[in-house]
Structure 1
Amino acid sequence: MNYKSLLFKNCISVIFCFLICSYTQAQTYGKNGMVVSDNILASQVGVDILKKGGNAIDATVATAFALAVTHPEAGNIGGGGFIVLMTSAGDVTTFDFREKAPLKASPDMFLDKDGNLEAGSNHYSSKAIGVPGSVAGLYTAHQKYGKLPWKELVQPAILLAENGFPMTWGLYKVALSLSQSDSSPAFMKSFFHDGSGKTVQPGELWKQPALAKTLALIRDHGSDGFYKGPVAQEIESWMEENGGIISKADLEKYTAVERKPLKGSFKDFEIFSMPPPSSGGVALIEMMNMMELADFDKAEFNSTPYAHLLAEVMRRAYADRAEHLGDPDFNPELPVDKLISKEYARFRFDNIDLENASISDPEKYGQLYDGSSTTHFSVVDKDGNAVSMTTTLEHSYGVKMGSPNLGFLFNNEMGDFNPVPGVTNERGQIGSSPNLIAPEKRMLSSMTPTIVSQNGKPFLILGSPGGRTIINTVFQTVLNVLQYEMRVDKAIEAMKIHHQWLPDEIRYERHLLSPDTRKALENMGHSLRPVNNLGVLMGIQLDTSLGVYMGASDSASADGGVAAY
């Protein structure tokens, strides 16, 4: 095969797609298949696989590996994530490839001799790296549901890494900042360099030869190309040299898990999302159940009563998240069925004061009240198979460390465990037992890949990055579509708020919440804090009148886009 000719052909296709999408970014239609991701190059890779006869899982694998090259902020092979799959027959399953704590991990591994958290140790040190799960997750999903050969799905990412792709202004801005920062690890300082040691300039081809070699091993040997052999040996050697604790034994023992999805309902729609160790599905369904009880005539969209009600619903769901949720393999008695039940929603909703803010008490968790980088993409194929996948490195560019011989970034997911046993405080630190560190345990996640169906067919495929804000941005977007009948592009761009129980504050998107509403919320007892944006949503919605799919990429994504055919 003439790979250079193929790459040129693909580049022309991508450039054409980008030009088209730049004029139709808000809403793009596709009849035979669609991929919406944080990078238009990766979206086009996925659609090219669909055009070759691949299904939604095939396109997911190809898109995910392409994102590891083109969107290194969160696209990865050194992180983890979740997949929600709805087949054309209406069956739904999920794949959990969340990172795990290494065998040498312990509940007090980030504490000093006095039992206090060592500042930054659980986010910015090599010990913050969890055992990666992305390659295992993609391989496991492909082995069961894929159609095209594995090698054909990984090859496009290898071409992008080997031959390069044009440096974007968005990446260049990050490259300048990270390469010049005194706090950046050595690997990050040179990550965007060319062969001569200079930062690649916008428009120039950014090549990643070390990453291409790593991907080639994954192409040729499947998940064993990552968890065994030269890559595993290099990871262990790097850990030993840099103070990390991941070993070859950790990598060899890692497995992805297929889990039963969580299922909820709202009106005549069915909602499918991730079970624990993601907290996203539980909280999403719990909040949708509460909102099903709301009087929307008295809580019109964007009104003060609406924002107040959202904040109170969020407060209760996040309190339950903090108290109860963790890795189900270590917590077999998680009260998931209770938390997503309609009866429990009524119990929680009836306690909401529609005139005054509740108080988030760190000692009360989910009891009755007295008065917080990731990327997501959505896929659908011509047969109606749908995939919602969220994957992460935790922080933007993860721990900002990696082996120059491997070319990819490690995650810093150990920071998602509760770091100090028993200590929960008003700043948002949680110390409940279900999410304490233990060897081989998966840390609690907020990722919320979601598929909403109607009449047994995918109607809305959605997800977002954003740490703990993910659940609430997905929640509000789903609510916007199902309750307010917004198109997916309008629902993604609409005003959003975030409340996570602790700290006790409403974060709101700057310039989207009116000053009058802010003042009214403060008078009700809420504290407010502005942020630039909440989430970077990627969504696909069925246009029932035309029988085609509509895709939308959040305008907060500099390089995101919809590829369709």
Structure 2
Amino acid sequence: MLAGLAGCGGSDSSFISSKTPVPDDGVKPPDVPVVRTVKFDPALCQQQDGAPYGQTVGISGTNLMVTSADVKASAAGCKVLAKGGTAIDAAIAVQAVLGVAEPFASGMAGGSVITYYDAASKKVRTFDGFSAAPATTGGVADIYRAVAQDVSSTTPFNICKSGLAANTSISSQQGNTNISGRAVGVPGTLKVLDLVYQSYGKTPWNQLWGDAIDLANNGFPMTPYMYKTLFADTAEYDDDGNLVSAGSGVSAWVNSAGTAKGAPRCKYPDIKARYCDATDASGQRPLAVGTIIRNTDLADTMQRVRDGGAAAFYNPAGPIAQAVVAKIGAGQLPCKSILPVAGTVAAPSVATTIAAIPSLMTTADFGSYRAVERQPLVGQRLGMTIYTQPAPSFGGVVTLYTLGLLERQNIKALPAFNGAQFVHLATEASRLANADRRNIVGDPAYSNIKERVNALLTPAYLDARAALITSTALGTVTTGGVADGIPAFAANADPANYDTMAALTVPAAKARQARKQAAVMLAKADRPAREEDWNTTSNIAIIDGYGNALSMTTTINTHWGAHIEAAGMMINNAMSNFSASTPGLDVNGYAPYKRPRSSIAPAIAFDASGKMRLVWGSAGGGPIPDYIVKTFLGHVLYGMDLQAAINADNWTGQNGIAELESGKPIANLVPNLITTYGNTAANAAATGLTSGLSGIAVSYDANGFPIYKGAADNRRNGGANGY
């Protein structure tokens, strides 16, 4: 991106351009290098105008930029960059603050993936820190089945449900199990941050935690968005974004039939103790917006990590791993799984008990976890080269697949972004992409995922799939198979020896290091259709003063994860992302050490000349790749300011139907999709699509020096910070 790099420290850095400005008289003098000076001064950091919630235009800067889903986190990141830190340094500080201020979305007890651009080598690298299954999984096909301990009458175990037998369903409607210790995966966020830091960190590790520790000790406010994750004052939406009723009270889950609802989140003891109003007679209302919340337990945990590094977190004999395992295990949570009696869709019954289904995780699982580097997924789309996350992320696949179909449908010729024809094409492309990814994408250590993904993204296959899109919506979407050129599923006989970097051309020493990092493979995946949460997770985008860039998506999976707090951290429920039924059970089934697939896919795009143009990603569950595609099209193809493209109304086809963001003008297109484009009332609907986008657009001045435009989704509490 930058022609040269002179130094990495001090109060400024100089970058050289070979261009010489032409004076007013039109006579060009001999070429004299033009020097770009990057200033390092925390006093220069500025927050995006209108943020949070009111931002309409991105903030501009020429030195450095950071953006995230929380304004305090972005400010902490800018401070690190402005002191000479690198993108990964700032990402650690941003993630630390997000873990305090957005406990419902991400934190050290979750998983993350990182797409990193190294300006010195001009290379993009992708790193996987997804949460993973423990070594012991009880020999069952999915997390919704009882293991031997669940049916034992020996203390501290109790029978989960009367008459339950081993390998039978603990919760046939899944809601209980999804929010329990059984759904907890081994956290990967801190490990992947540490892995990238080993290559690119500059600021001492122990100097990156101060803002987050202070915030946890001194307090942070209940935000409007956090409040909405706990309670709805008007219409109530479930975690799939579907309208449940016009009343209030957000349940933690709603069964697939819509007849039974979980207890409100403030009924869960750990959430209630810290985030809910103790004076509320109903026991379900959170603290009022603006109420100061403190988390000294989390401050203590971060201090241990600050002083002892990632090793302090993953040490099986250390207090953090022991606290987490003790809290989610059988000693703390004797098994109990009781579903409410089913009601009707119009009046779902509500659970009065909280499920307690213990984890099978041990502290040894913390010690065996490894973050891994993977080969980036790369595609040329609409004049840009996009680097994104490979499997077990399906988000990268869907991003490139959807854009590939839309490119073939000549979407750039359409006059109206988010107009009726645009939305028809976009949702049809998304429906096709998501139908295929469910059969194909999972942990690449366990089967021939990479070979099958490559086949999905070949020009010939995309040509054939694009031809299925006409002016009339598909009634149903069928998936491709062997007859279409997709290789048959083939299990990997030895996942533990899978080399994630085998296809890369790297020096022998680095190859050996990659093999060592991949020696123990742990893995992640998503729930079947209609079960993926819409509104969770968090995204970070950073460009530092040296031209390095990072896009990172971080998550504890669904809102509030397992609804369990340990050592001040909300714990993930990532294993609820494993498939419990076909399609996808073969590629995304539950197994020891395996990583379930995920929609998260932070990306970086470059133009035809190799200049970086966009660093972006999103939160928001299953439709994340659609939010990424929408933003790319709005900004790159239609020339919108990045903030306007991010704020634009959302759409998705990820559940096999065209869904448009409710409460926004785009929802008015639903009747048009039915009458003009042949959808039915069953496959076109308005629903809750709450994205969490953040990104940085890059343009260049006459000297070839970058101009950054930082933006963050106005649906969340974020904003950009830089100068």
Give the TM-score normalised by structure 1: 0.88
Q: 1:505 to 1:139 in 2, by over 3 A?
A: same
Query: What are the superposed Cα offsets for residues 213-263 of structure 1, whole Å, 9 maximum, x if unpaired?
Result: 111111111111111111111122223322222111111111101111111
**Alignment equivalent of 1:496, drawn from 627, 632, 650:** 650
Counterparts in 2 of 1:367 and 1:401: CA distance versus 1, 3 Å: farther
Answer 1 or 2: which has greater helix percent.
1
Quick one: which amino acid aligns to residue 279 of structure 1?
F
8 A contact 2:142–2:578 mirrored in 1: no
Which residue number in structure 1 is paired with residue 556 of structure 2? 393
1:308 aligns with 2:424: yes
- Structure 2 match to 1:28: 59
1:516 to partner: Cα distance: 5.6
In structure 2, the CA distance between the partners of 1:213 and 1:520, relative to structure 1 (3 Å rule), is closer
Deviation string, structure 1 residues 539-559 (Cα, Å, up to 9, x no partner): 1101334731011111111x2
Residue 511 (structure 1) shift? 3.1
- C-alpha displacement of 1:332: 3.6
Q: Does 1:76 align with 2:107?
A: yes
- Asked if 1:96 corresponds to 2:128, the answer is yes
Identity among equivalent positions (%) equals: 31
SS in structure 1 of the partner of residue 623 of structure 2:
helix
1:419 counterpart letter in structure 2: A
CA contact (8 A) 1:541 1:551 kept: yes
Look up the match of 1:355. 472
Counterpart AA for 1:100: A
**What CA distance in whole angstroms lies between the structure 1 residues aligned with 2:446 and 2:58?**
43
Task: For 1:29 and 1:390, locate their aligned partners in 2 and report how far apart those are by CA, in whole Å.
Answer: 23
Residue of structure 1 in register with 2:590 after alignment: 437
Taking the aligned partners of 1:497 and 1:158, their CA distance within structure 2 comes to 38
The offset of 1:200, in angstroms, is 6.3
The equivalent of 1:291 in structure 2 is 406
Distance 1:350 1:41, change over 3 A: same
| 2:68 counterpart of 1:40 | no
Q: Secondary structure at the residue paired with 1:292?
A: helix
**Residue of structure 1 equivalent to 2:218:** 163
For residues 483 and 660 of structure 2, the distance between their equivalents in structure 1, rounded to whole angstroms, comes to 23
Other-structure match for 2:185: 130
Kindly state the Cα deviation for residue 170 of structure 1 after the two structures are TM-superposed. Answer: 4.4
Tell me, in whole angstroms, the C-alpha distance in 1 between the residues paired with 2:665 and 2:672.
14
CA contact (8 A) 2:661 2:667 kept: no
Q: Quote the Cα distance in structure 1 between the aligned partners of 2:213 and 2:277.
A: 17
How many residues are treated as equivalent by the alignment? 538
2:625 is aligned with 1:471: yes
SS at structure 1 position matched to 2:408? coil
Report what 2:7 is aligned to: none
Work out the CA distance in 2 between the residues paired with 1:489 and 1:367: 43
Instruction: Give the superposition deviation at 1:528.
Output: 1.5
Note the C-alpha offset of 1:42: 0.4
Given that 1:25 and 1:562 are in contact with CA atoms closer than 8 Å, whether structure 2 keeps it comes out as no
Instruction: Specify which of 302, 320, 324 is matched with residue 235 of structure 1.
Output: 324
Kindly provide the CA deviation profile for residues 388-418 of structure 1, in whole angstroms up to 9, marking residues without a partner as x: 0101111111111122xx0110111111100
Q: Separation in 2 of the partners of 1:182 and 1:314?
A: 32
Q: Secondary structure at the match of 1:32?
A: coil
- Using the TM superposition, give the Cα deviation of residue 347 of structure 1 relative to its aligned residue in structure 2, in angstroms: 2.0
Give the Å deviation of 1:531.
Answer: 2.0
SS in 1 for 2:552: strand
Answer yes or no: is 1:452 the counterpart of 2:605. Answer: yes
Q: Secondary structure at the match of 1:272?
A: strand
Q: Of residues 447, 452, 456 in structure 2, which corresponds to 1:331?
A: 447
- Asked if the contact 2:46/2:721 (under 8 Å) is kept, the reply is no
How far, CA to CA, are the matches of 1:214 and 1:148 in structure 2? 21
Distance (whole Å) between structure 2 residues aligned to residue 172 and residue 508 of structure 1: 20
Q: How well do the aligned residues superpose, as a CA RMSD in angstroms?
A: 3.0
Deviation at 1:48, TM superposition (A): 0.1
Q: 1:484 aligns with which of 622, 625, 638?
A: 638
Matched, 1:280 2:433: no
Match of 1:529 in 2: 685
- Give the secondary structure class of the aligned counterpart of 2:649: coil
Q: Per-residue CA shift, 1:274-301, capped at 9, x if unaligned?
A: 0011011111111112222123336743
Q: 2:575 maps to which residue?
A: 414
1:188 pairs with one of 266, 271, 283: 271
Conserved? CA contact 2:59–2:709, under 8 Å: yes
Assess if the C-alpha contact under 8 Å between 2:80 and 2:89 holds in 1: yes
Aligned to 1:52: 83
**What is the distance in 1 between the residues matched to 2:418 and 2:48?**
33
> 71, 86, 111: which is aligned to 2:145?
111
Distance 2:642 2:708 in 1: 10
Whether the aligned pair in 2 keeps the contact of 1:303 and 1:517 (CA below 8 Å) is no
Contact 1:304 1:520 in 2 (8 A): yes
Give the unaligned 5+ runs of structure 2: 1-41, 147-164, 232-248, 252-262, 334-357, 485-531
Among residues 543, 560, 565, which one is paired with 2:718 in the alignment?
Answer: 560
The alpha-carbon distance between structure 1 residues 449 and 181, as it changes in their structure 2 partners (threshold 3 A), is same
Larger radius of gyration, structure 1 or 2? 2
Q: How far does residue 182 in structure 1 lie from its aligned partner after superposition? A: 7.1
- Seen in structure 2, the aligned counterparts of structure 1 residues 503 and 100 have a Cα distance that, compared at 3 Å, is same
What's 2:198 paired with? 143
What is the alpha-carbon distance in structure 1 between the residues aligned to residue 299 and residue 82 of structure 2? 24
> How far apart in 2 are the matches of 1:20 and 1:282?
34
Question: Per-residue deviation at 1:439?
Answer: 0.6
- Contact map agreement 2:220 2:293 (CA 8 A) in 1: yes
Q: Is the 8 A contact 1:26 1:553 kept in 2?
A: no
Rounded to whole Å, the distance in 1 between the matches of 2:44 and 2:82 is 14
1:507, 1:16 → 2: CA distance? Answer: 34
- Give per-residue Cα distances to partners, 1:95-119, cap 9 Å, x unaligned: 1000001122242441365855632
After superposition, the Cα gap between the structure-2 partners of 1:506 and 1:384, relative to the gap in structure 1 and judged at 3 Å, is same
* Residues 435 and 173 (structure 1), Cα distance of their counterparts in 2 relative to 1, 3 Å cut: closer
* CA contact 1:121–1:127 (8 Å) conserved in 2: no
Aligned counterpart, 1:221: 308
Aligned 8 A contact 1:188 1:401 in 2: yes
1:244 aligns to 2:359 (yes or no): yes
Given that 2:45 and 2:75 are in contact with CA atoms closer than 8 Å, whether structure 1 keeps it comes out as no
Q: Give 1:500-511 correspondences, 5 Å limit.
A: 500=654, 502-511=655-664
Task: Note closer, same or farther for the CA distance 1:505–1:115 as it changes in structure 2 (3 Å cut).
Answer: farther
Is the Cα–Cα contact under 8 Å of residues 657 and 684 in structure 2 kept in the other structure?
Answer: no
Match of 2:298 among 192, 196, 211: 211
Aligned to 2:694: 538
Amino acid at match of 2:635: V
User: C-alpha displacement at 1:304, in angstroms?
Assistant: 3.0
The alpha carbon displacement at 1:478 in A equals 1.1
Cα shift readout 1:479-529 (whole Å, capped 9, x = no counterpart): 2222222221121122331112x4444344433226466334355332222
Displacement of 1:450: 0.8
What TM-score does the superposition give when structure 2 sets the normalisation length?
0.69
* Matched residue SS, 1:468: coil
Moved more, 208-217 or 512-521: 512-521
C-alpha separation in 2, matches of 1:445 and 1:388: 16
Matched, 1:263 2:402: no
- CA distance, structure 2, for counterparts of residue 290 and residue 355 of structure 1: 16
Whole-angstrom CA distance in 2 between matches of 1:537 and 1:333: 28
Separation (CA, whole Å) in 1 of partners of 2:207 and 2:100: 16
Query: Which letter maps to 1:552?
Result: A
Contact 2:537 2:621 in 1 (8 A): yes
* Among candidates 447, 459, 462, match of residue 616 of structure 2: 462
How far apart, CA to CA, are the structure 2 residues paired with 1:175 and 1:548? 39
Alpha-carbon distance in 2 for matches of 1:485, 1:20 = 22
Deviation string 1:305-344 (CA, Å, 9 cap, x unpaired) is 3222112211111111101110011124531222222232
